[in-house]
Amino acid sequence: MKGKSKFTQSDINAIIALIRMKLKASTSEQAAIRNKIRALGFYASDFGIGGGYTENDFLQATTIIGEKKIVLKPEAITLKPKITDITNQVMGLEPIYDENSSILILGTMPGEESLLRQEYYGNPRNLFWKLISEISRENAPTVYDKKKDFLHRHGIALWDMCALCVRLGSLDSAIEDETPNDIKGFVASQPNIRVIGLNGGKSANLFRKYVGNIAGLLVVELPSSSPANTGIPWEIKVEKWKRLI
């Protein structure tokens, strides 16, 4: 068996959401979604299910134990597990990094406009790229591919605390039923990372909840770059973001 045999209810919700996305996705997008499903521990081949499986195929290979755990098994049975409403479930982006990344900046989940563009901080009102320009003393490009090259050049990696969550709109305060990314595993695979910046209070709260301290790393809580964060003057935001360097 390549994957796990026991899953939490939140794992099940996340896997079902990903299966639904996979069935609607293009061929090129499906591979990335399958990798996210496997990252949650589900390998269809463990249960004799073909690559084009649906959520019903997935559920037919499950049984519920207690209220919060389920165990997958090869035998197909019909079940009706309680599943959280995932109408407003959203999936995050892949991390941006390379082997030279020394600073990891973690948000929560990209906003609606960023997800539509499939770009980190794609809302032009978000101050992220302006702040990065200030602390790097170099103007960030306007084209996204060149922005990624810009990040690599300055040793900056980007990711988010949430791999999946339920959220109506773009506000961090609306995030529910989140599935966290494996931040500890990622950092362990990138030995040059020395500083983690938490972009906003929600990111900091989720980091404390799911990660905690990581030995040898400096963790810096940053004022959110979101356009909704209007209570802190620009000059103070810049000074606090400079702590990353």
Active site residues: 126
Helix (H, G, I), strand (E, B) or coil at 49: coil
In this structure, how many other beta carbons lie within 10 angstroms of the beta carbon of residue 229? 16
Q: Give dist(CA 209, CA 207) in Å, integer.
A: 5
Helix (H, G, I), strand (E, B) or coil at 193: coil
In this structure, how many other beta carbons lie within 10 angstroms of the beta carbon of residue 201? 16
Q: Give dist(CA 64, CA 218) in Å, integer.
A: 41
Burial 70-90 (b: 16+ CB within 10 A, else e): bebeeeeeeeeeeebeeeebb
Cα→Cα distances 182→67, 162, 236, Å: 25, 9, 31
Q: Give dist(CA 131, CA 42) in Å, integer.
A: 39
Spatial strand order in the sheet of 69-72 = 6-8, 69-72, 62-65
